[in-house]
Amino acid sequence: MSITANDQTKSFCILTDNTEYRMKADGNGILKHIWYGNRVETDMEYLLDFHDVGFSGNIYTSAHERHYSIDTMPLEYPASGCGDFRIPALTVVQSDGSSAADLRFVGYNIRKGKYSIPGLPAVYADENEAETLEIYLKDIASDLFVTLKYGVIARYDIITRSAVISNKGKTDMQLERALSMCLDFTYGEWDRIYFTGRHTMERIPERAPLMHGIQESSGMRGTSSHQHNPSVILCSRDCTETTGECFGAALMYSGSCKTQTEYGQLNETRLVMGINPDLFSWELKRGEDFYTPEAILTYSGSGFEQLSHNFHRVIRNNVCRGRYKKTERPVLINNWEATYFDFDEIKLAEIAQKAAELGVDMFVMDDGWFGKRDSDTSGLGDWVVNESKLKGGLKPLTDKIRKMGLKFGIWFEPEMVSEDSDLFRNHPEWAIRIPGRKPSLSRCQLVLDMTRADVREYLYNAISNVLNSADISYVKWDMNRSICDWYSSVLKREAMGEMPHRYVLGLYELLERLTSDFPDVLFEGCSGGGGRFDAGMLYYCPQIWCSDNTDAYDRTRIQYGTSFIYPISAVGSHVSAVPNHQTGRVTPIEARAVTAMAGSFGYELDLNTLSDEEKSAVKNQIIRFRRYNKLIHNGDYFRLSSPLTDKFAVWQFVAEDKSEALVHGMIYKTESNMLRYPIRLRGLKADTAYRLETDGAVYTGRALMNGGILLPRSMGDYSPIEMHFVEIK
Ligand code: DGJ
């Protein structure tokens, strides 16, 4: 059993293979957080020490125990209004207009298996792989109930959290804040790492010590965004890849998220995470429940590497679903950077033909194949083939490409509409706009109101008609703007604050329907690259286009940041042309290839334009990727350098049974008479001998992990690294 409860002391303990989580309801029914960290198998309450702190008041029944204050206690799920002055997880406006909830313990339940969440993605698991703890809390003065859910996958050191807020009273309430989790630490001086950036430069880690007060990363864009990835790490000041303590949280949510830390008056730390309350309110009518999205938590007592491995394993095995969860993904060629909007069926076939000759598995036709779509100013929403570009429609093209031995994939941007489109002309009310105001345009487009059932029905039919019309194996689901002008003609005035969350629920409903009705189609997520790279989307799409920046140097940094939380199998990455279209940088084709291999791997250029030497390099890269595919996607990933501070980016994949390891990377600059950089490998078997394939040299795991290996001598800039070590049996 991972979860145990003591009915006498009302304490709860969640044990995973290496971690322990403890909480306890005290005599007043206040649910205190006691411990999250390494396994200790001890009641850690002795660490809590309370004294009388001025201006931190007392609950009424303990008014004379002046040391007893919910303002100084570590709490599991703090609500606002009753004396805890730190950031709350829950704010409820009661029917009398007051904003208060005083949550007390009323019961619990433990069961096998992992809970699911209606309408929202959640970690899933077999009955015997996971357990669920539910703790029931009730406001002492109203019929507001809160169920705290904890899901446990012990072997991955993963604990998930979610809350259900229920109005069991006779009058309606209003939720102003309903976060997914709170984690209180009474001790420790922590650094906070979050993953920030912008379009074409997403998820760059920033690390800074917590300062007194509140720090946050809050998205307001309607999506999880390029700017504020819904994930965070709190770590000890000395934490490195392999030493120190760290806690990670990732929200399985694709809308606006808020992550806040508060370093408080007693040097205690609170971490909360959930739907961004700045874009949220919810009418909780009598008899109704509200489900928060799920937060995935993990702890490592031995640095970021273990924390990332825990996240990678759970996302690969218990978040991603469908046929492509485990099967090898096709090596694809995408025509976007090769043609942009300027193509016809002849040009596409030429690109596909060369790709087939060089060993690619799938051709993906990107933006521009539908409606009147010759630029990004028109056509979105009209999901019918533009026959002036593709003569005879889709079928002849897909048939031709299938005959070349390639699968066929296609691009959609379902949630969008161009003003210049038949869809907008017929249904202007489907676009998100505020009556009487000119809407904000971005990439000349508007967003469809995904809260509307008729919009979802239209999209389902439009997309499934296309998928049924030809042999299509892949869909790239793009989304190219942030959302504002929140207004829906189908929502009542009082419910308008629900729209951003209802948008996400609508999106998930459509994705669920399409992915279950087309189980053989590989769905790849995208939002101008990685603008919606989150565990919620990964539940529907096992891979996400990581960034619109295909420059190999920048990608080493973007993919480095992404790898803290998300597995390599989730990262969409391609070799593109040089000079790179986003940066103008020229990098060698092998450096582009090893960088793209840390992902789903593919190409995004017209291979016909390459020299013969480059073409044979491509052929060879595909052969190598096929060999390494399992190792890369199912193995453990190690960050051997920091591309943000080091002169090189080096990373390593190790097979689960440690029988092989692949070191990839790039030396950024070559200087004359430069010493070769030594790099230490990790995760090998110490007493095993490994052969380096390139020159046959043999090293023990112990030598490679302690002394390391010298990186190859570099020539030119962005010099690629590839070293494949295989165990000698
Ligand atoms: C943004 C995507 O990230 C690109 O890869 C490409 O699909 C364009 N949209 C097409 O408009």
* Alpha-carbon span 286 to 167, nearest angstrom: 5
**Ligand 1 centre and the CA of 333: distance in Å?**
14
CA of 479 to the centre of ligand 1 (A): 8
- Would you state the pLDDT for residue 265? 96
Q: What is the pLDDT of residues 80-90, one digit of tens each?
A: 999 999 999 99
pLDDT band at 482 (very low <50, low <70, confident <90, very high): very high
Q: Is the pLDDT of residue 326 over 90?
A: no
pLDDT of residue 674: 85
Ligand 1 in contact with 480 (CB < 6 A)? yes
- Pick the catalytic residue: 534, 636, 660, 722? 534
Q: Ligand 1 centroid vs 383 CA: distance in angstroms?
A: 16
Query: Rounded to whole angstroms, what are the CA distances from 247 to 210, 250, 259, 269, 674?
Result: 14, 10, 14, 12, 39
DSSP labels, 68-118: --TTTS-BSS-BSSSS--S--SEEEE-TTS-----EEEEEEEEEES---BT
> What count of other Cβ atoms lies within 10 Å of the Cβ of residue 687?
8
Average pLDDT over residues 192-212: 98
Is 289 a residue of the active site? no
User: Is it the case that residue 218 has pLDDT exceeding 90?
Assistant: yes
Assess whether the C-beta atom of 548 lies below 6 angstroms from ligand 1: yes
**With 90 as the cut, is the pLDDT of residue 675 above it?**
no
pLDDT score, position 63 = 84
**pTM score, two decimals?**
0.98
Is the per-residue pLDDT at 14 higher than 90?
Answer: yes
The pair phi, psi for residue 94, each rounded to 5°, is -75, 175
Backbone angles phi, psi at 315, to 5 degrees: -70, -40
**Does residue 604's CB lie within 6 angstroms of at least one atom of ligand 1?**
no
Which pLDDT does position 132 carry in this prediction? 98
Contact criterion met (CB below 8 Å) for 390 and 339:
no
Contacts of residue 252, Cβ cutoff 8 Å, sequence gap at least 6:
120, 121, 122, 123, 293, 294, 295, 296, 319, 534, 535, 536, 539
| pLDDT, averaged across the chain | 97
Q: 339 and 352 in contact (C-beta within 8 Å)?
A: no
CB atoms under 10 Å from CB of 52, counted, come to 12
Residue nearest to atom 2 of ligand 1 (CA): 528
Taking the CA of residue 366 as reference, the ligand 1 atom at the shortest distance is 7
At residue 448, the pLDDT reads: 98
Element (H, E) at 592: helix 589-597
Residue from 697, 668, 699, 665 nearest 685 by CA: 699
Q: Check pocket membership of 336 for ligand 1, CB cut-off 6 A.
A: yes
For residue 412 and ligand 1, the question of a CB distance below 6 A is answered with no
Which of 333, 364, 367 has most ligand 1 atoms within 8 Å of its beta carbon, as the pocket-test mutant?
A: 367
At 67 the pLDDT is 95
Ligand 1 contact via 545 beta carbon (within 6 Å): yes
How far is residue 117 CA from its own chain's centroid? 18
Ligand 1 centre and the CA of 141: distance in Å?
52
Distance 478 CA to ligand 1 centre (A): 7
Distance in angstroms (rounded) separating the CA atoms of residues 690 and 701: 7
Q: What is the pLDDT of residues 408-452, one digit of tens each?
A: 999 999 999 999 999 999 999 999 999 999 999 999 999 999 999
Q: Which pair of structure tokens corresponds to residue 375?
A: 């630029």
162-185 pLDDT per residue, tens: 999 999 999 999 999 999 999 999
Q: Is the pLDDT of residue 720 over 90?
A: yes
> CB of 478 closer than 6 A to ligand 1?
yes
**Ligand 1 pocket member 524 (CB < 6 A):** no
Whether residue 614 lies in the annotated active site: yes
Residue 661 bridge partners (DSSP): 654, 725
Confidence of residue 359 (pLDDT cuts 50, 70, 90): very high
Atom of ligand 1 nearest to the CA of 529: 3
Which strands, in side-by-side order, build the sheet including 648-654? 636-639, 648-654, 660-667, 719-727, 689-692, 698-700
Residue (of 597, 579, 581, 589) closest to 662 by Cα position: 597
Name the nearest CA neighbour of 262 among 224, 210, 309: 210
39-48 pLDDT, tens digit each: 999 999 999 9
Q: How far is the CA of 447 from the centre of ligand 1 (A)?
A: 16
